[in-house]
Every structure is written in C-alpha cells, then in structure tokens.
Amino acid sequence: WFSYKFENLDSSTDEPDITYLELMESDTGRELFKTHLVNELTLENYMFYIVATRWKSQYPGSRYSKNKLEALQRIYDEFIQSGSQFEINVSYDEKDSVKRTIAQASESLDNTLPDTVLDKCILETGTFLRGSCLRFVRTDLYKESFRSTSLAGTGSDGLGAEF
C-alpha cells in the first residue's frame, strides 16, 4: 500500500498526487500525519507499523537469535497483548498466533523464528493507516501546512520513530 496514490479522491478538490511513502519521507509530512493520528486516536498503528517493519528488516529470515526473540517479545508486550499500553486493533487469532510463535521459539531447540510472524498484524494496521492517510489529505492541517512546505527535508532514517 506504500505506492497508493491519493489522486482523484474527490473531483472537487485539488489535492496533489502524493504517495504515502512520499509523505513519510518528509519530516513535515511525517510530523503532521502523526498529529492527525493523535487526533484520530490511532497513533499506535503508526508506532507499531514502524517498529514491526524495522524488526523484520533487522532480523530477516527464520534464524533464531536471543535478541530477535527479545525484540519480538517487546513488540508483543507493547502493541499486541490485550490491555497493552499501545494495543493495536488486530484479531484475536493474530494476537494468539504471535503469542504462540514466541512461546514455541522460547521452548524450541530447532533454532527458528520466522520474520513473517508479524506480517498479518502489519497488513491489518497498514489498512487502518491507509484510511487515516486518505482522511489526512482532506484535512485543514494538511491543506494549510503540508502543501506550503517542500517534500525535501527527510530525516536520517526517513521514518521518524524509534523503538
């Protein structure tokens, strides 16, 4: 969904053609979108998406490591576990699947921990973020602030979040 273009959202508007990735590569776009997500009470989706995709890129493949498991456990504790501080809205089946994968990796001797364990959660939160982006480009916040700035000025990692 990164390449989804916000074109022709409403024929009566003059929104520029912009992709989610272009928006997130801009310091201004990223900060304004986060503000929008706070207003929508959905910032946890953005935070999870950033952390989970970083985990996947930092620990590719199925090879087990203690650091990989500990990082996955922190993600589960912060975002996936019911009642967690930044609980994301994903199905019970997905929560249970991640929990079981962590338990199996903790107890297993086969030295595997697939990097795909968070994929469905990432897809579910990505769907929510896409809807938020569609609403964001129609807001006064976007129209008044982001349009008047340049897409230049990306941060060092282009993501603007840390875990």
Find residue 5's DSSP bridge partners.
19
Helix (H), strand (E) counts: the chain: 7, 0
Find residue 112's DSSP bridge partners.
63
The DSSP code for 19 is B
pLDDT above 70 coverage of the chain, percent: 73
Q: What is the pTM of this model?
A: 0.71
Q: Which residue has the higher pLDDT, 52 or 16?
A: 52
Residue 21 has pLDDT above 90, yes or no: no
Residue 107 has pLDDT above 80, yes or no: yes
Distance set, CA 69 to CA 56, 66, 84, 145 (Å): 12, 5, 18, 41
